[in-house]
Amino acid sequence: MIQFASAIRATALAACAAATPTLAGAQDFVNVLTGGTSGVYYPLGAGLANIYGETIDGVRTQVQSTKASVENLNLLQEGRGEIAFALGDSVAAAWAGDEEAGFPQKLDQLRGIAGIYPNYIQVVTSQESGITDFAGLAGKSLSVGAPASGTELNARAIFGAMDMSYDDLGKVEYLPFAESVELIKNRQLDGTLQSAGLGVASIRDLASSLPINVVAIPAEVAQTLGAPYVAATIPAGTYDGQETDVPTVAVSNYLVTSAAVSDDLAYQMTKQLFENLDTLKASHQAAALIDVEKALDGMPIPLHPGAERYYREQGLIE
């Protein structure tokens, strides 16, 4: 494992030369497509860009804040990014060309790099709202994520599995994480549904500002939805004032690239991800859940040949 003296810099541009860089290609450019700055994708993307800039010869990197999964996948298809974070159900929908999910046509240029960590569906309300269970959301106001984002696709799926719909809510807001939290703080919103890694900054901010309830999603919802959803638990103490474990569902995140990216660059992006996990953990705790042994689990699209080469070297593909 390569260690670095410099800390991860969560900046929009992150690149510098390493003393002994790894060869990829002359003047490769890597635009890392992430999500909102208050989520998990952005700090992890900044950390990943910094690693690539330090370990891959001739690579310049940029971190782009986006509306996350759906936008990221469309940008990859258009050749406007080299690697992106995305939820597994969004990736599957993009490959299928699911128009309702935001993909009017099959995104046939998408290629897989790695499965990384699970997103936990986290429904959080102010204690003042009186909402203590999912049914209690009826007639209340809830933000379900940016329009047609991966979070919002998750929200639709969860409501359907609970035999509810947005029509049951008193008011629906389609806002990014940080904006949702600000409205709850200002007593203009009762709750927020966020699909993110545990300990996401937005909910930590909310929990430190006012008493919250973390609302349970029963395990049978995962059974109803099926893959890529699985039953999961938000451990007690994840957020201030959360004294008990809370059941929920989770869905895997993936790093995705484009068929237009060279085999050498895709190989190095995969290799340097796994060889520098200790460094990546400094950017967000979610990186602690990234495991090369699970990187191919449930991959919903074809692997990039460069990534496949790395997994063959590791004995994960025969």
Supply the pTM of this predicted model.
0.80
**Bond before 211 cis per omega within 30 degrees:** no
Query: In the prediction, which pLDDT does 27 show?
Result: 59
Please state, in angstroms and rounded to a whole number, the distance separating the CA atoms of residues 122 and 191.
Answer: 10
Assigned CATH for 22-117+254-313: 3.40.190.10
Please state, in angstroms and rounded to a whole number, the distance separating the CA atoms of residues 9 and 141.
Answer: 36
Can you give the residue ranges of every domain in the chain? 22-117+254-313, 119-251
Class of residue 271 by CB neighbours under 10 A (exposed 0-12, middle 13-18, buried 19+): buried
Does 271 have pLDDT greater than 60?
yes
- Angle at alpha carbon of residue 295, lines to 79 and 159, rounded to 5°: 80
Query: In the prediction, which pLDDT does 7 show?
Result: 37
pLDDT tens per residue, range 51-87: 999 999 999 999 999 999 999 999 999 999 999 999 9
Does 34 have pLDDT greater than 90?
yes
Does 17 have pLDDT greater than 90?
no
Does 23 have pLDDT greater than 60?
no
Quote the mean pLDDT of the chain.
91
- Residue 86 β-bridge partners: 254
Q: Which of 26-30, 173-177, 248-252, 312-316 is the least confident region?
A: 26-30
Assigned CATH for 119-251: 3.40.190.10
Query: Taking the C-alpha atoms of 194, 166, 227 and 44 in order, what is their torsion angle to the nearest 10 degrees?
Result: -20
- Residue 214 β-bridge partners: 124
